[in-house]
């Protein structure tokens, strides 16, 4: 009997390399610039609007990212305590990278790619990953309330201990292995698109009520008898 192929859920994140401090303006994010092996610490690029920026093997520590970051490509990098709130990063890609303790509230990462990415202990409420492709991605201990995963493609993706209350999954596509472990799925919409997903732990009673509502099922509680 053939041995069942083991599915790899944990992202293949590249170990840090020797870095040089980023210098301004030569290493600042600008259109069509690619930087390699740089360390950014405490930089504020929030007023910038950047197209086609690339970063490979970089560390971003306490950095405010450009308000517009279209078609960016971030590879083998680490983002620590970074502020990407309300950043417009549509059509962008991230590979073999870690986002830790970040502020991603309102981030728009639509029609993009995440592959071999770990997002942990980050606030990403109201973030949008709609129409993106997620492959071997883990969201761990994240606030993803009202996040948008509509029409998102999932392959080997795991949510661990995340608050997904009110998140949207309409027309999501599960290519292979989508797991929710100890997550809050209260009020999630688009549950019928998650056929084939695995849900472990969490408030399963609330989840069942939400699913029944989506399917148009009325659940009536039994009337207490007077006898």
The CATH number for 59's domain is 2.160.20.80
Share of the chain above pLDDT 90, in %: 76
pLDDT exceeds cutoff 60 at 10: yes
Residue 4 lies in a domain: no
pLDDT band at 21 (very low <50, low <70, confident <90, very high): very high
Q: Which of 132, 218, 127 is nearest to 171 (CA)?
A: 132
The residue assigned the tokens 């990278």 is: 97
> Domain range for residue 138?
21-215
**Which pLDDT tens digit goes with each residue over 171-197?**
999 999 999 999 999 999 998 899 899
Sequential DSSP letters for 34-92: EEESEEEES-B-TT-EEES-EEES-EEES-BPPSEEET-EEES-EEES-B-TT-B-TT-
On average, the pLDDT of the chain sits at 90
The pLDDT value given to residue 6: 47
Residue 175 lies in a domain: yes
Residue 221 lies in a domain: no
Q: Considering its fold, how many domains does the chain have in total? A: 1
Whole-structure pTM value: 0.88
The pLDDT value given to residue 192: 87
Residue 227 lies in a domain: no
Residue 160 lies in a domain: yes
The helix, strand and coil proportions of the chain, stated in percent and rounded to the nearest 5, come to 5, 35, 55
**CA–centroid distance for 31 within its chain:** 25
25 cis-preceded (ω within 30 degrees of 0): yes
Mean pLDDT of 144-172: 97
Residue 164 lies in a domain: yes
Residue 225 lies in a domain: no
pLDDT band at 208 (very low <50, low <70, confident <90, very high): confident
Measured CA to CA in angstroms, residue 19 lies from 58, 73, 195 at distances of 7, 18, 44
pLDDT exceeds cutoff 60 at 36: yes
pLDDT band at 224 (very low <50, low <70, confident <90, very high): low
Pseudo-torsion of CA 203, 180, 189, 155, nearest 10°?
-170
Q: 170-194 burial, b for 16+ CB within 10 Å, e for fewer? A: bebebeebbbbeebbbbbbbbbebb
Residue 161 lies in a domain: yes
């Amino acid at each position: 009997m053939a041995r069942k192929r083991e599915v790899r859920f944990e992202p293949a994140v590249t170990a840090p390399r020797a870095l040089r401090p980023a210098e301004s303006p030569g290493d600042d994010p600008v259109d069509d610039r690619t930087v390699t092996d740089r360390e950014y610490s405490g930089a504020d690029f929030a007023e910038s609007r950047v197209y086609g920026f690339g970063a490979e093997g970089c560390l971003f520590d306490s950095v405010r990212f450009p308000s517009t970051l279209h078609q960016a490509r971030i590879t083998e990098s680490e983002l620590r305590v970074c502020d990407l709130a309300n950043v417009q990063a549509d059509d962008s890609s991230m590979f073999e990278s870690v986002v830790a303790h970040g502020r991603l509230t309102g981030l728009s990462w639509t029609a993009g790619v995440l592959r071999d990415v770990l997002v942990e202990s980050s606030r990403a409420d109201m973030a949008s990953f709609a129409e993106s492709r997620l492959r071997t991605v883990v969201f761990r201990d994240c606030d993803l309330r009202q996040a948008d995963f509509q029409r998102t493609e999932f392959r080997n993706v795991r949510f661990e201990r995340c608050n997904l209350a009110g998140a949207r999954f309409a027309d999501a596509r599960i290519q292979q292995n989508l797991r929710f472990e100890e997550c809050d799925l209260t009020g999630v919409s688009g549950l019928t698109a998650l056929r084939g997903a695995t849900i472990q732990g969490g408030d399963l009673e609330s989840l069942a009520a939400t699913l029944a509502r989506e399917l148009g099922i009325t659940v009536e509680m039994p009337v207490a008898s007077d006898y």
